Amino acid sequence: MEHELRYVVVPEDGVFVARCLDVEIASDGPTEHDAVANLREALALYFEGSEEASPGGGARPS
């Protein structure tokens, strides 16, 4: 079963940090795209062996 997880991406200390709002997982990267890709990989590893989950719509804080 696949779940939609929410995340935000913020610039922090020269990199972009993607934080999942539904579980305490975060990752970073040199670009927003890389940060989200790294977050997806981290979430896949976190949920490995259990039900599948994938990040859904991201939101950028104003």
Tokens (6 digits) for 7: 């995340």
Domain segments of the chain: what residues?
3-59
The pLDDT score that the predictor gives to residue 48 is: 86
Written as one string, the DSSP assignment of 9-49 is: EEEETTEEEEEESSSS-EEEESSHHHHHHHHHHHHHHHTTT
pLDDT at 62 exceeding the cut of 50: no
Torsion angle, alpha carbons of 40, 18, 30, 32, to 10: 90
Q: Using one digit for the tens of pLDDT, what is the confidence trace for 11-29?
A: 999 999 999 999 999 999 9
Return the CATH number of 3-59, one of 3.50.50.60, 3.30.230.10, 3.30.160.620, 2.60.120.10.
Answer: 3.30.160.620
Q: What is the pTM of this model?
A: 0.75
Percent of the chain with pLDDT over 70: 73
